[in-house]
Each structure stands twice: as structure tokens, then as C-alpha cells.
Amino acid sequence: MTPEKPEQFVAAWIVYLTVALVLFFAIVFLATFIIASQQPQAETIANLTAETYMDTVTVLLENANPQRGETLVTRDYECYACHVQGADNIAPNYVGLAERAATARPPLTAAAYIYESIVHPSFHLVEGYPDAMPKNYETRLGERDLGDILAYLLTQ
């Protein structure tokens, strides 16, 4: 359309600009929505399968050192304060853990289960125990320590 009068010309441009602005915000909104919906939500993390965990766990265990893991668990971190043998009322002790872990939360493998128990302790509680594990080990431990601890606990 070709506006004849200056008023019509201005009005046309206001319409064009409004349409452009609305389109711009619609696209920004859509993009935000799509990005947000791709972030894993707590619920979907809770439903992670053995395979999704195994990708992480396999990498962590690649060069892991179980001896170093033992030192970390018994000396450097406070795990034994709760997981001490003979004090089973605070936290389950590690005796037989690897065997229990293999069937604790199907379809998770032992390694995947132990990984989840440390990194997302609230997702699955060992029956009879409170949700008392510290929730910050994922950031506190870092990949190397986590891998070594996993390797050590898998020997239990």
C-alpha cells in the first residue's frame, strides 16, 4: 500500500513497528521457552536411567584410584562421621555396599546407584534412614575425588 498523506505514512510505520516488536518478543519468548524446557528438571533427573548415569560414571571411573578413594572417604571428607561401622543408626555402613547397590534401584548398576547416592542423595533413601546426607558433594568433590570414592566404594 502507498499512503498518500503524511498522517497515513506515519500511521503505517507505527503499525509496522508494532508488528515487528510483537514478533521480536514472540521469538525471544519462544527461544527462552525452548531453552528452559531442555534443562533437566528435578523429576526427569530422578528418572534417569542406568544408561544416562553410566555415561558419567564410566568417565569418572576411567582412571580412578580406589586407594586414594579410601583415604578421601576415611580421612579427607566426613563420610565416616556418619557411615562409621557400628553406628548403623546414623547411616548405613559400607559393608556389603557394592552387592546391595547392584539391586538397590533397578535398572541402575551398582556404580550408577552409588554415584546417585552421593550426588543426588535425596532421590532414593535407604529404607529406615533420614534424608541426612549433605547435598553439596557434587560441587565439593569434583570429578577426580568422586571417581576415586566411587571406585573405592565399589570394592566394599
Residues that bind ligand HEC (CB under 6 A): 73, 77-79, 81-83, 91-92, 97, 100, 104, 114, 117-118, 121, 125-126, 129-134, 137, 149, 153
**Closer Cβ to ligand HEC, 64 or 153, answer by number:** 153
Q: How far is the CB of 97 from ligand HEC (least distance, A)?
A: 5
Q: How far is the CB of 79 from ligand HEC (least distance, A)?
A: 3
**Closer Cβ to ligand HEC, 30 or 81, answer by number:** 81
The alpha carbon torsion through 68, 72, 76, 78 (nearest 10 deg) reads -170
The alpha carbon torsion through 83, 84, 88, 90 (nearest 10 deg) reads -60
Q: How far is the CB of 150 from ligand HEC (least distance, A)?
A: 8
Place of cell 533413601: 125
User: How many alpha carbons lie under 13 Å from residue 49 in its C-beta half-sphere?
Assistant: 1
Cα(116)–Cα(105) distance, rounded to whole angstroms? 10
**Closer Cβ to ligand HEC, 12 or 135, answer by number:** 135
Q: How far is the CB of 59 from ligand HEC (least distance, A)?
A: 18
**Closer Cβ to ligand HEC, 6 or 128, answer by number:** 128
Q: Residue 103: is it exposed, middle or buried by C-beta count within 10 angstroms (0-12/13-18/19+)?
A: exposed
